[in-house]
Amino acid sequence: MTLTITNIRRPNSETLESITLENGLIKGWNLPAEGEIIDGKGGTLAPALIELHAHLREPGQTEKEDLASGLAAAAAGGYGTVVSMPNTSPVVDDPAIVRSLIEKANRLGFARLRPAAALTRGQTGETLAELTFLQDAGAAMFTDDGRTNEDARVLRLGLEYAGSLGMVVSVHAEDASLRADGVMNEGAVSEALGLPGNPAAAEAARVARDLEIVAGLQAQDRPVRLHVQHLSTARALDLVREAKRRGLPVTCEVCPHHLTLTDEALRSFDSIYKVAPPLRTQADADSLLAGLLDGSVDCIATDHAPHTRAEKERDLLTAPSGIAYIELAFPLMWTRFGATLGLERLLDLMTQAPARVMGWPEPSLEAGAPADLTVFDLHTERTVNPAEFKSKAKFTPWAGESLRGWPMLTVVGGAVAYRREA
């Protein structure tokens, strides 16, 4: 299959060019147009975004999201690859589930799926899952995300075992006993609202513990790879920064919601803002942005976590945690931080950097590279209208906002996975 996209620019170039894709790969630039021809309308072409952290809810929670809606939403957001989280029902701790998810996703033709598998059976944190068989089935990484790894010895074993397989272990770093029943950041706002708080120390303490485990394993020359998910506090990021200085094999991600929202949003008592780890203070958000600039944060992930409207309409004490917005993550980041980060750094944080975290080949625009590509319209403002979302979660904190940077076309394996209608 051959596809030519005309009238596109490479990032930070004014020159209009064309690119031809054949058999899933980039054939070359500015060749005579052949096959299907799509007008890129002056948009900017980049490698498709890579999402290391999304909840697609299959199997078992398809009232919230499913592979079709989640992967279509991802493609509409400019993503070519999605790592799905295993906190489903049942948990993705069985090679047969990993295989069936991949087969089903391949048939859909939206974004590619690289499922994460649970590190422990049933994500209970007690017994390691069958990591080798899960890897053989196609698991991309191991994580008990959604849950925390309370038993440090089991996590250590998991890091050691996964590391010997060359696999990343990714952790939701919150100390459950410190977090307790906190539903929002602990601080002036939680006190004013009379809501149970989740202290910054819950994240920092857990990150410190996990880094010590990694340091110990590294000292024994074990090939460990720890990835810390959705860092939300300045203090925890400082710990990761310091660990990197010491040469520890650790990477971390931050999420656009922790960069753009703070605990002040909870004054609305709207559970749409309830997320784990919680929205923190402006000082924390500023530190996370500084981390993106100084390189101590490796990549951006969304933690797209859809729930039903009825669930998110419950009160803050009982509603589930999670914000869903994979369709607008890039426009949100580009509109809010494009001037600060610059296009190349932002694209790197959402394409090459996630690939580096995973040890995957770095996406590129050169001939011979996989044809996973996105064309962005960096200039036209559009109002966020959740009714148009492909995700089942048709509500978002950014509804009604005017954003730039919308994907116009997403190509996965040389085939169109998303094309904006107008």
57 annotated to bind ligand: yes
358 token code pair: 């995973």
C-beta closer to ligand DOR: residue 322 or 413: 322
87 annotated to bind ligand: yes
Beta-strand relationship, 169-171 and 226-228: parallel
According to DSSP, the residues that pair with 169 across neighbouring strands are 142, 226
C-beta closer to ligand DOR: residue 172 or 280: 172
In the complex, what is the shortest distance from the CB of residue 111 to ligand DOR, in angstroms, rounded to a whole number?
A: 19
In the complex, what is the shortest distance from the CB of residue 63 to ligand DOR, in angstroms, rounded to a whole number?
A: 13
In the three-class reduction of DSSP (H, G, I as helix; E, B as strand; rest coil), residue 407 is classed as: strand
Q: How is residue 367 annotated by DSSP?
A: T
Our measurement of the distance from residue 316's CA atom to the centroid of its chain's CA atoms, rounded to an integer in Å, reads 24
C-beta closer to ligand DOR: residue 322 or 405: 322
* Best CA proximity match to 285, nearest among 314, 265, 270, 306: 265
227 annotated to bind ligand: no
Q: How is residue 64 annotated by DSSP?
A: T
In the complex, what is the shortest distance from the CB of residue 381 to ligand DOR, in angstroms, rounded to a whole number?
A: 29
257 annotated to bind ligand: no
C-beta closer to ligand DOR: residue 87 or 374: 87
In the complex, what is the shortest distance from the CB of residue 57 to ligand DOR, in angstroms, rounded to a whole number?
A: 8
**What contacts 396, CB < 8 A, 6 or more positions away?**
272, 323, 324, 325, 328, 384, 386, 389
258 annotated to bind ligand: no
- The dihedral through the CA atoms of 272, 275, 281, 287 has a sign that is negative
- Helix pair 282-294, 234-245: axis angle to 10 deg: 20
379 annotated to bind ligand: no
Q: Please pick, among 303, 348, 372, 377, the residue that the annotation labels catalytic.
A: 303
C-beta closer to ligand DOR: residue 225 or 304: 304
Q: Which residues bind ligand DOR (CB under 6 A)?
A: 55, 87, 145-146, 172, 275-276, 305, 320-322
C-beta closer to ligand DOR: residue 84 or 410: 84
* Separation CA 93–CA 128 (nearest Å): 9
Neighbours of 34 (CB within 10 A): 12
Residue 303 catalytic? yes
* Separation CA 64–CA 385 (nearest Å): 19
157 annotated to bind ligand: no
In the complex, what is the shortest distance from the CB of residue 325 to ligand DOR, in angstroms, rounded to a whole number?
A: 12
CA distances from 310 to 182, 307, 396 (A): 21, 8, 14
Q: Are 26 and 9 in contact (CB under 8 A)?
A: no
In the complex, what is the shortest distance from the CB of residue 68 to ligand DOR, in angstroms, rounded to a whole number?
A: 19
* Separation CA 337–CA 343 (nearest Å): 9
55 annotated to bind ligand: yes
Q: Rounded to 10 degrees, what is the CA torsion of 239, 245, 246, 252? A: 50
In the three-class reduction of DSSP (H, G, I as helix; E, B as strand; rest coil), residue 304 is classed as: strand
399 token code pair: 């509804």
* Residues taking part in catalysis: 303
Q: Which residues are annotated as a binding site for substrate?
A: 55-57, 87, 307
Q: Which residues are annotated as a binding site for Zn(2+)?
A: 53, 55, 145, 172, 230, 303
Q: Which residues are annotated as a binding site?
A: 53, 55-57, 87, 145, 172, 230, 303, 307
